[in-house]
Structure 1
């Protein structure tokens, strides 16, 4: 018989729900608050916790992090989309509004308990195959699926395309693919295609012969040849120039590389792992990426979930980072306060794990408390996020933006990225990068990263504007 804990301060509702669940063959316990629930019961002993959102002393969502692997179903009379989104983002398995239909509640309970039992059974059957990716933290469903895919494709020689937002850990996945392959006794060569100038990328990748161009005083082996027998990881492959793409295609098709200035090719045995945050299929349609190369590298695609879709993994990662930085900076082992955990779970983390790393490092450095990290030290801009969530648009002054160019009303439903893209395109010829970043309320680095993600190149006029 499955065990359920009801946490509800309204006695009438708590009693009615207990009787309803007992009639459906569940063993039910009850508590009027989070404090009493945690002091009276071991939360891990239950198969499900059904809790009201608004409780005296502490909200029901506090049970999510206290319950560990026990699923929490949130109910509330404040039926709003924002409450549902916040609860689910913080790790609630489901959300139900009061007054609820009895059949609706019973069906939700059956669904949640059934899914949890099936997941536990699957996890037990595949525990050794899904929880041992070095350097990666997380036990959410999306991460378990990613681990399983890595384990399946790693022993093969298949080309892998890793897709994910900035800061999601694409190089960690590439490293795992290499370490679990039969090539792990050879080198893994990592190349950031966005960091090498277009004029140098071909010579860096494919090497050159003496005299191939001015300054080529000796023969030089390229990075492709250096990865012979091992793995070549091309990060941000979408930034690779078309000429270099043609040479890379030959490496993949023929298994050989020809240095610049040479008339002879050399056989190489290289496994390619590529990564990008851009839509390569869209770039191929626009003629900015070779379609034949896209189909060649898209043998197996691994999609990395953004941090905001990983549920309670966020807290596990934050706590691990907290331990690391406390040791690094000689601080006592600090803990996250309840308010800090709520802020971490509620924030969108557009910069993903990299942004979380920065926030935790900054919080440890600034913390003067000897026991815990407060939410104010995280420097999370929740106000800007709330504005974006509530309006569906951006903080980039949409009415002024929409008034230019005629034809677009101030109430047009544009996304944050739409406003960013339009603002940059309309003003980059008359503003410097510093002015653009200031107007948009972002750093120059953030402006550059969004340009890369949206495919908005800097114009020569924009580079000199404002000088």
Structure 2
């Protein structure tokens, strides 16, 4: 049984990861700091260390030096992505951004342990492989028994071993990042980093510097040279989520990377070669955006060599209950309610709902119901789906003009505020005086979920925001 050491100073996160890994069959120990880990355990005797980047006392990256024989997986917030990339240069095997999906964490752990070299004195038969590719199969990373998802898995298995650029299309919450991870883990580049970048989460003024790097003095505040995320992914894969949000100048520079396999840092006159497998994703209609001039047509055709479409949950009717039970089991164990069940009425409500937020909305509904449930049976009222279940869903790819239509339908269909109405009113009323982090905390969602709902409802983020 593989032994894993978790080093995380936040009790809730540490406990959640410990329970998740223990349920998956791992032997788990945990500590709140590097110093505590060294005092109570021998970190170098574990098969894997999962550590937060920022800890009281020594940083999580210190474990790379103090446990040289053990792979270290670094956890970090998106705001600290640069430091996570730097940590990989120091020797971390991979990083994972918070908040992370449970399946994403399990897939990362499985992949790291699968490629961990076997000790020379191992009793395994000669020639036995230390890698288990089946752990990286998309069916083990994503859930889906329906025919559309099986087609997705088949396509991923065929495309992953190649160097082909892939464009993943799908609505928010369908699991595009998990598909990108599966493509990377099944590729010859699996031992190298997968760098994930949400193009919409980086301020437009910084996007080029973040992606391509910059030289010292290239602009005000550039006090030292910095490696870009594309260069950091050299030898591995680069996942550009929400590629449709890239500004025009960055699109032109990215096209050169795809055409020439080289980058030039901001402020530099020298180009350097990079070997990066490009995976892009979007919920927008890029083809339509090329007609309006929002997206470069030449870049679109460079990206759209192989397209993988992740179906929305409403097209995966036979998967809804399987996903619901999976989330219910996970949340029940996490919250000390292992005997939870869905009532027949709750099952019917889940199957009738249109799921505009897709798999992520389903997971949130189950988590909310698990928290509110006082006995062992979850009823429809705890799922709180009625306010949205009857609405006609308008695909997110039809970005242009869908906001007015959505608002009109809301006004005509109900006098009471739906959950989406409440979200829209709350954000518009409070975004001038609250940061993105404060808004997300008040709404009980992550910053990434806040951004995705903004996109879906067409609520622009204030340009003056400093977050």
For the aligned pair, the TM-score class normalised by the smaller chain equals 0.5 to 0.7
Q: Is the 8 A contact 1:255 1:267 kept in 2?
A: yes
What is the deviation of 1:154?
0.5
Which of structure 1's runs of 4+ aligned residues deviate more than 6 A?
A: 128-131, 421-424, 439-443, 445-448
Which of 192, 209, 212 aligns to 1:203? It is: 209
Q: Is the 8 A contact 2:329 2:338 kept in 1?
A: no
Q: Is the 8 A contact 1:437 1:447 kept in 2?
A: no
Describe how 1:243-258 pairs up with structure 2 within 5 A. Answer: 243-258=249-264
Which of 160, 164, 169 aligns to 1:158? It is: 164
Q: Is the 8 A contact 1:437 1:443 kept in 2?
A: no
What is the deviation of 1:334?
1.1
Corresponding residue of 2:275: 269
State the alpha-carbon separation in 2 of the partners of residues 323 and 253 from structure 1. 47
Corresponding residue of 1:301: 307
C-alpha distance 189-458 of structure 1, shift in aligned 2 (>3 A)? closer
State the alpha-carbon separation in 1 of the partners of residues 148 and 365 from structure 2. 24
Corresponding residue of 2:362: 356
What is the deviation of 1:373?
1.4
State the alpha-carbon separation in 1 of the partners of residues 407 and 288 from structure 2. 17
Which of 452, 455, 458 aligns to 1:452? It is: 455
> Would you say 1:191 and 2:197 are equivalent positions?
yes
Residues 183-219 of structure 1 deviation map (CA, whole Å, 9 limit, x = unaligned): 0010000000000000000000000111111111111
Which of 381, 386, 390 aligns to 1:381? It is: 386
Residues 396-436 of structure 1 deviation map (CA, whole Å, 9 limit, x = unaligned): xxxxxxxxxxxxxxxxxxx9755237899xxxxxxxxxxx9
> Would you say 1:420 and 2:406 are equivalent positions?
yes
State the alpha-carbon separation in 2 of the partners of residues 416 and 448 from structure 1. 17
Corresponding residue of 1:233: 239
Residues 282-305 of structure 1 deviation map (CA, whole Å, 9 limit, x = unaligned): 111111111110010000111111
Q: Normalising by structure 1, what TM-score?
A: 0.59
List gaps (5 residues or longer) in structure 2.
1-133, 395-400, 411-419, 429-439, 441-448
Larger Rg: 1 or 2? 1
State the alpha-carbon separation in 2 of the partners of residues 161 and 367 from structure 1. 41
Q: Is the 8 A contact 2:403 2:458 kept in 1?
A: no
Q: Is the 8 A contact 1:130 1:151 kept in 2?
A: no
State the alpha-carbon separation in 2 of the partners of residues 209 and 421 from structure 1. 47
C-alpha distance 441-209 of structure 1, shift in aligned 2 (>3 A)? closer
Determine helix, strand or coil for the equivalent of 2:332.
helix
C-alpha distance 438-318 of structure 1, shift in aligned 2 (>3 A)? closer
Q: Is the 8 A contact 2:138 2:179 kept in 1?
A: no
Which of 320, 324, 332 aligns to 1:326? It is: 332
Corresponding residue of 2:146: 140
State the alpha-carbon separation in 2 of the partners of residues 271 and 345 from structure 1. 38
State the alpha-carbon separation in 2 of the partners of residues 364 and 418 from structure 1. 35
Q: Normalising by structure 2, what TM-score?
A: 0.59
What is the deviation of 1:381?
2.2
State the alpha-carbon separation in 2 of the partners of residues 218 and 180 from structure 1. 37
Describe how 1:283-302 pairs up with structure 2 within 5 A. Answer: 283-302=289-308
State the alpha-carbon separation in 1 of the partners of residues 343 and 218 from structure 2. 61
Q: Is the 8 A contact 1:129 1:148 kept in 2?
A: no
C-alpha distance 133-442 of structure 1, shift in aligned 2 (>3 A)? farther
State the alpha-carbon separation in 2 of the partners of residues 448 and 129 from structure 1. 32
State the alpha-carbon separation in 2 of the partners of residues 209 and 439 from structure 1. 42
Describe how 1:3-18 pairs up with structure 2 within 5 A. Answer: none
Q: Is the 8 A contact 1:363 1:378 kept in 2?
A: yes
C-alpha distance 359-293 of structure 1, shift in aligned 2 (>3 A)? same
Q: Is the 8 A contact 2:173 2:358 kept in 1?
A: yes
What is the deviation of 1:451?
5.8
Corresponding residue pairs, total: 298
Q: Is the 8 A contact 1:367 1:373 kept in 2?
A: yes
Query: Cα RMSD between the aligned structures?
Result: 3.1
State the alpha-carbon separation in 2 of the partners of residues 330 and 129 from structure 1. 28
State the alpha-carbon separation in 2 of the partners of residues 130 and 223 from structure 1. 24
What is the deviation of 1:135?
2.5
State the alpha-carbon separation in 2 of the partners of residues 376 and 131 from structure 1. 37
> Would you say 1:341 and 2:341 are equivalent positions?
no
